[in-house]
């Protein structure tokens, strides 16, 4: 399983765009990159998943460079409710187990 490295914490003001970068130097050819959000005392919630280039959904964008050794989660115009821990995971789907790194604690400031 590819190891991931993220900043431990980030602060941002409301209304700003937040970019959280994850490093995964030993990502395998068949691995996908998935980001989850976790609020206190709740299970993680899926945000976005991608394999290469750019993926966008209604809540976030995911940028993946050609070498796939890193990825950036972009949250447009964050609000206080986006204060949470964000986890970057790398791996294949199906029955492969999902292991978590340290995550990034995002604090949105009014």
Partner 1 sequence: GAVVSQHPSWVICKSGTSVKIECRSLDFQATTMFWYRQFPKQSLMLMATSNEGSKATYEQGVEKDKFLINHASLTLSTLTVTSAHPEDSSFYICSARLPIQGLVGTEAFFGQGTRLTVV
Question: C-beta of 107: minimal distance to partner 1 in Å?
Answer: 13
Can you tell me the distance from the alpha carbon of 27 to that of 19, in angstroms, rounded to the nearest whole number? Answer: 20
Select 21 or 101, whichever has its Cβ closest to partner 1: 101
Strand order in the sheet with 84-91: 9-13, 104-109, 84-91, 32-38, 45-50
Smallest distance, Å, CB 77 to partner 1? 24
For partner 1, the closer of residues 41 and 81 by Cβ is 41
Whose Cβ is closer to partner 1: residue 80's or residue 98's?
Answer: 98
What one-character DSSP code corresponds to residue 62?
E
Count of H-run helices and E-run strands, the chain? 0, 9
Interacting residues toward partner 1 by CB under 8 A: 30-32, 34, 36, 41-46, 49, 51, 87, 92-95, 97-103
């Amino acid at each position: 399983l590819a190891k991931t490295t993220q900043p431990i914490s980030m602060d941002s003001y409301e209304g700003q765009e937040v970019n959280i970068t994850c490093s995964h130097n030993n990502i395998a050819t068949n691995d996908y990159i998935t980001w989850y959000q976790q609020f206190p005392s709740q299970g993680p919630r899926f945000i976005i998943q991608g394999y290469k280039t750019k993926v966008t959904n209604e809540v976030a964008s995911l940028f993946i460079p050609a070498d796939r050794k890193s990825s950036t989660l972009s949250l447009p115009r964050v609000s206080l409710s986006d204060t949470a821990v964000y986890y970057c995971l790398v791996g294949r789907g199906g029955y492969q187990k999902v292991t978590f790194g340290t995550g990034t604690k995002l604090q949105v400031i009014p």
